[in-house]
Amino acid sequence: MNEIEQRIAELNKLLHEYGYAYYVLDKPVVADSVYDQLLHELIALEEANPSLIFPDSPTQRVGGTVVEGFKKVTHDYPMLSLSNAFNEADLQEFDRKVRQAIGDHFSYVCELKIDGLAISLKYENGVFVQGATRGDGVVGEEITANLKTIHAIPLRLKEPITIEVRGEAYMPKKSFEKLNAQRADNGEELFANPRNAAAGSLRQLDPKIAASRQLSTFIYAIGGDGEIYGIDGHAEMLDYLEDLGFPSNKERQRCSTIEEVMAFIEHWTENRPHLAYEIDGIVIKVDRYAQQDELGYTAKSPRWAIAYKFPAEEVVTTLLDIDLTVGRTGVVTPTAILTPVQVAGTTVQRASLHNEDLIRDKDIRLGDTVIIRKAGDIIPQVVGVLIEQRPENSVPFEMPKNCPVCDSELIRIEGEVALRCVNPACFAQIAESIKYFVSRNAMNIDGLGDKVVEQLLRADLIHDVSDLYHLTIEQLVELERMGEKSATNLVNAIQASKENSMERLLIGLGIRHVGEKAAKIVSEQFGSMEAVMAATEEQLVAIYEIGDKMASSLVEYFSNDDARAVIERLAEVGVNMTFKGKKVEVVVGDNPFAGKTIVLTGKLEQLTRNEAKAKIEELGGTVTGSVSKKTDLVIAGEDAGSKLAKAEQLGIEVWNEDNLIEQLNLI
């Protein structure tokens, strides 16, 4: 066997194992995207070597097989799958073909693609008589008893008609979390995601189990010809289904151009975390039946619809190395160094490994093929290993006994999973706390990047944050890659930071449990650093939103002589120690922002988004990320996209940047 034959055999074996676990046992061992990636590798190899296609290759099977224990049912009309779009180019191509066939006078209907299990429901004279899974699209499994347990599925329609409808059964995120928490308590295996939990629930032989799982459903299609019900398009059909008593998803939109479709996709790519259920894409359909008929079908799917799939969130790659870094608080964090791989639209070459426990529990080794997960803005993480693909000579990974930076012995504090360096003179800890002090959300000193901080420490020019304020242009120009101009700018930025309101300093000190919000509240309430330093735990806890942990952490921090000495030195060089922001109660009700929920969108010219946000918050307004019915005002800069469209759709007041500046100047 040559290398290609070997790989094809290996992929066949893996995909059979994973497919069985997923489709038959409802206990997936890898994420779908991992399965897909391996499947695509196999498809590519088979295409290049057709003589090597196994008769039972997973590529020769369409959809899932029917599980033992349920009756098979043949669908009256096949449940076709839609072709997929993975990017804008795919959508443009789809749009071009549609326009070529039916011209420009049509509209699309966009809907959320619910990440659940496709189902078919049959009603005779208005009564629910049979429910089935999609199966392979032609033959499904009869799961009527289990579907009846879903409260959202009507047992009797509002009209005594005979009809077959299609939809998606799904498990809401909340039910999923509860179910998994319960299973963890019972020591049972956890479900990988809500879709697998929904599928597993509907394939239970005992309907009581399905009933306990709190599934729900959205219905989005009629099986067969919709025209016999006197409707002439998809949007009208959705309304009709609602009239009959079916649950339909409200987050749908009619679009007349592919640009509007893209804006809808963009909106939901951003907002899907806020939904109560998981979605994995957007479905786009040509609305009118007459035009759908004109477009027709390919062998596998309709030409009048396409499913846009969100980028894969899990992929596999190789673990090249494990990098150990020491943070501001001494915690040693292992980071995976990876063969670069595309995931969720970005190239990932580093991923979090959390801590030693994760490495040990999953037995993650150098050279392993690992599964990487990246969802939304979350830092990419290593979530698992494909043990089957492990190199033969690999050995378990051992965490070091000593700090990789200062070599002092690492310890594990009771009740914590992390290893820590507790040497207060550790270079890494000092460097990290200075980087944190100058960072954007803290003292916000421009031009003082990580490299410069390390150079300053190595050159013995600084030892703690107070030394920054003694730096001179002459000292700075001696540093590598530091010109006269940058040095001047940096000194100016450092000096300017002295004027910051005190909450920035409080953030910059990096006190445990004291984040941005807490620092602001404490500063506002006490007014000066002196007062905060003198505050007791009781006084601190008395403030709404300040908890026990924060209070004791603050008191402990300020009882430390070294910490007090640094603050004294900062005061000596003239760093402001008082709260400068306006007190919220003074301005509430006095201006057009107070008590309002405001969304900023598009590019602002005269001030940055953060500045605008800070001003609005100072005036008692709340700035949120997405437009909803609760939004009072949208401020739209240049090139505002879907948020502006949504605001207009909901009839929310919209200002441009000039309106904003004008109002701010009036206050």
Per CB under 5 A, contacts with Zn ion among 575-634 are none
User: Which residue bears the tokens 């025209």?
Assistant: 227
Cβ at position 425, least distance to Zn ion in Å: 8
Cβ at position 590, least distance to Zn ion in Å: 52
Based on the shown chain and the rule CB under 5 A, indicate whether residue 509 belongs to the binding site for Zn ion.
no
Cα distances from 456 to residues 459, 471, 476, 510, in angstroms, run 5, 10, 8, 20
Per CB under 5 A, contacts with Zn ion among 390-409 are 403, 405-406
> What is the Cβ-side half-sphere exposure of residue 37, based on CA atoms within 13 angstroms?
18
User: Which range of residues in 118-126, 413-421, 477-485, 639-647 is near Zn ion by CB under 5 A?
Assistant: 413-421
Cβ at position 428, least distance to Zn ion in Å: 6
The answer to whether residues 491 and 473 touch, using CB atoms and an 8 Å cutoff, is yes
Task: Enter the tokens of residue 336.
Answer: 């995976």
What CA–CA distance (Å, rounded) separates 157 from 493? 69
What CA–CA distance (Å, rounded) separates 525 from 641? 39
Cβ at position 449, least distance to Zn ion in Å: 22
The answer to whether residues 229 and 244 touch, using CB atoms and an 8 Å cutoff, is no
The answer to whether residues 554 and 522 touch, using CB atoms and an 8 Å cutoff, is yes
Based on the shown chain and the rule CB under 5 A, indicate whether residue 431 belongs to the binding site for Zn ion.
no
348 assigned to a ligand binding site: no
32 assigned to a ligand binding site: yes
Strands 108-114 and 279-286, sheet pairing? antiparallel
Indicate the residue among 431 and 652 with the shorter CB distance to Zn ion. 431
Indicate the residue among 98 and 410 with the shorter CB distance to Zn ion. 410
DSSP bridge pairs for 382: 372
113 counts as catalytic: yes
Cβ at position 405, least distance to Zn ion in Å: 5
The answer to whether residues 635 and 601 touch, using CB atoms and an 8 Å cutoff, is yes
Identify the DSSP state of 64.
P
Indicate the residue among 155 and 411 with the shorter CB distance to Zn ion. 411
Cβ at position 420, least distance to Zn ion in Å: 9
- Catalytic hit among 72, 113, 158, 208: 113
Task: Enter the tokens of residue 447.
Answer: 């031009």
Site string for Zn ion, 188-207 (x = CB under 5 A): --------------------
The answer to whether residues 235 and 109 touch, using CB atoms and an 8 Å cutoff, is yes
Cβ at position 558, least distance to Zn ion in Å: 25
What CA–CA distance (Å, rounded) separates 246 from 218? 8
Indicate the residue among 248 and 423 with the shorter CB distance to Zn ion. 423
394 assigned to a ligand binding site: no
36 assigned to a ligand binding site: yes
134 assigned to a ligand binding site: yes
Based on the shown chain and the rule CB under 5 A, indicate whether residue 421 belongs to the binding site for Zn ion.
yes
User: Which residue bears the tokens 């697998």?
Assistant: 196
406 assigned to a ligand binding site: yes
What CA–CA distance (Å, rounded) separates 39 from 315? 12
35 assigned to a ligand binding site: yes
From candidates 370, 426, 452, 519, binder to Zn ion by CB under 5 A: 426
Site string for Zn ion, 20-59 (x = CB under 5 A): ----------------------------------------
545 assigned to a ligand binding site: no
Indicate the residue among 159 and 454 with the shorter CB distance to Zn ion. 454
Indicate the residue among 67 and 406 with the shorter CB distance to Zn ion. 406
Task: Enter the tokens of residue 439.
Answer: 């960072």
Strands 84-85 and 305-309, sheet pairing? parallel
Task: Enter the tokens of residue 524.
Answer: 């506002």
Per CB under 5 A, contacts with Zn ion among 273-292 are none
Hey, is 373 helix, strand or coil?
strand
# chain residues binding Zn ion, by CB under 5 A = 6
33 assigned to a ligand binding site: yes
Indicate the residue among 323 and 605 with the shorter CB distance to Zn ion. 323
The answer to whether residues 52 and 46 touch, using CB atoms and an 8 Å cutoff, is yes
The answer to whether residues 457 and 435 touch, using CB atoms and an 8 Å cutoff, is no
Measured N-to-C along each axis, helices 32-48 and 3-19 cross at an angle, to the nearest 10 degrees, of 140
Catalytic residues, which ones? 113
Which residues are at the interface with Zn ion (CB under 5 A)? 403, 405-406, 421, 423, 426
Residues in binding site for NAD(+): 32-36, 81-82, 111, 134, 168, 285, 309
Residues in binding site for Zn(2+): 403, 406, 421, 426
